[in-house]
């Protein structure tokens, strides 16, 4: 009986190999399937866009909503791209909710409108957080800090130049 065990093991392995050889073969791993699905979704996304994303962003660039999003981003994350004499702006001085209120108030200072009017406490937030550097009127204290009443904020202007340079490279 002990002599038959190795033969039975070998026969079992052969039957298992035969069984596996008759099974449909999985051509791609689950990771490859996921990548393929992701690539298909991206391909459909690209198909839906007749222009590059930066061209779409250039079209949105002049809107009040875009400017608001930019201001909120600077309030939340800071900015150090302009080397003003007053130094860089650190982010996080206001909560994200308050940042949106301040952004609407800043838009109003520059004569633009927010989709939703700023809340009553927005001028107070601006005065206590922003006015020390940008002035109560948002004009920037004689070039020490940026003027927030410009038709196009400096950061938005810089972004526009960058996007136009990308567009020039694709043509």
Each as own residue / partner, the long-range contacts of residues 77-80 (CB below 8 Å, 24 or more positions apart, any chain) are 79/155
Helix axes 96-109, 122-129, angle to 10 degrees: 90
Q: What is the mean pLDDT of residues 24-49?
A: 64
Region 22-42: mean pLDDT is 63
Run of H or E including 145: none
User: Average pLDDT, stretch 105-130?
Assistant: 87
What's the pLDDT score for residue 78?
Answer: 87
Q: What is the pTM of this model?
A: 0.66
Query: How large a percentage of the chain has pLDDT more than 90?
Result: 27
CA–CA gap between residue 112 and residue 142 (Å, rounded):
22
Q: Which of 69, 132, 133, 121 is nearest to 100 (CA)?
A: 69
Q: Are 146 and 84 in contact (CB under 8 A)?
A: yes
């Amino acid at each position: 009986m002990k002599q038959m065990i190795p033969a039975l093991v070998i026969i079992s392995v052969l039957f298992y190999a035969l069984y596996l050889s008759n099974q449909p073969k999985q051509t791609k791993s689950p990771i490859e399937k996921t990548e393929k699905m992701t690539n298909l979704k991206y391909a459909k996304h690209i198909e839906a866009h007749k222009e590059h994303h930066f061209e779409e962003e250039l079209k949105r660039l002049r809107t009040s909503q875009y400017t608001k999003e930019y201001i909120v981003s600077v309030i939340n994350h800071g900015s150090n791209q302009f080397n003003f004499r007053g130094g860089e702006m650190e982010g996080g001085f206001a909560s994200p909710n308050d940042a949106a209120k301040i952004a609407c108030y800043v838009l109003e200072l520059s004569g633009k409108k927010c989709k939703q009017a700023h809340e009553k406490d927005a001028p107070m937030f601006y005065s206590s957080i922003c006015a020390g550097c940008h002035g109560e009127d948002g004009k920037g204290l004689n070039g020490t800090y940026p003027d927030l009443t410009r038709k196009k904020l400096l950061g938005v202007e810089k972004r526009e130049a960058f996007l136009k340079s990308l567009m020039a490279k694709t043509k």
